[in-house]
Amino acid sequence: MLTGRCECGEVRFRIDGPARDSVTICHCSQCRRSSGHVWASTHAPFAALRFDAEAGLTWYASSDFAKRGFCRFCGSSLFYRLNDEDGIGIAAGCLDVPTGFRVGKHIFVKDKGDYYEITDDTPQLERF
Ligand SMILES: [Zn+2]
Ligand SMILES: [Zn+2]
C-alpha cells in the first residue's frame, strides 16, 4: 500500500486502493507557483484515501472548479481535486519510496517556466 506525508508529518495518508502508476507533471503557472516548480502527481479514487493524520490539512480554492490541499504547518503541497470529481490528485513527491511509478506525461507545457527544459521522452501536451 502506498503511504505519504507532508514534510512535518501533520498530514499522513495511505492509498487503500488502485492509484495510477504513472506521474503527470503539470507545468501551468498556477501549479508552478503553488508547488515551487512543477506539480507532479498520481491520481486515485478519493474513497481510497485514508488519513492517519490530518491536523495540518487545509484546502485552498485555487479556482472556481478546483481546490488544492496543503499542510498549514509546513506548507507542503499535497493534493489537487476538481470540485466535481470522484478522484484526487496526490503529490508524487509526498509519497514514500519506492512508489514503482514512472513519469507518464507532461501537461500544459506551453506555460512552463523558462529556466528548464523537459528532457525525458514522455508525451508533452499543450493542455491535458
Ligand atoms: Zn506538514
Ligand atoms: Zn497545473
Ligand 2 geometric centre to CA of 115 (Å): 17
Is pLDDT above 90 for 32?
yes
Share of residues in the chain with pLDDT > 90 (%):
96
**How many angstroms separate the alpha carbon of residue 10 from the centre of ligand 1?**
5
pLDDT in tens, 94-110: 999 999 999 999 999 99
Question: What per-residue confidence (pLDDT) applies to 54?
Answer: 98
Ligand 2 center from residue 33 Cα (angstroms): 9
**Does residue 52 surpass a pLDDT of 90?**
yes
Q: What is the pLDDT of residues 61-93, one digit of tens each?
A: 999 999 999 999 999 999 999 999 999 999 999
Residue 51: per-residue pLDDT: 98
Q: Are strands 39-45 and 87-91 parallel, antiparallel or unpaired?
A: antiparallel
DSSP secondary structure string, the chain?
-EEEE-SSSSEEEEE-S---SEEEEE--HHHHHHHSS-EEEEEEEGGGEEEEEETTEEEEE-SSSEEEEEETTT--EEEEEETT-SEEEEEGGGBPSP---EEEEEESGGG--SS----SSS-B-S--
Q: What are the domain boundaries of the chain?
A: 2-111
Single-letter residue type at 38: V
Across 25-38, average pLDDT: 97
**Please, which pLDDT band fits residue 2 given cuts at 50, 70 and 90?**
very high
What's residue 18's pLDDT?
A: 87
Is 2-111 a CATH 3.40.50.300 domain? Answer: no
Average pLDDT value for residue range 119-125: 97
Distance from Cα 90 to the centre of ligand 1, integer Å: 15
Please compute Rg for the chain using Cα positions.
14
123 vs 59: CA distance, rounded Å: 30
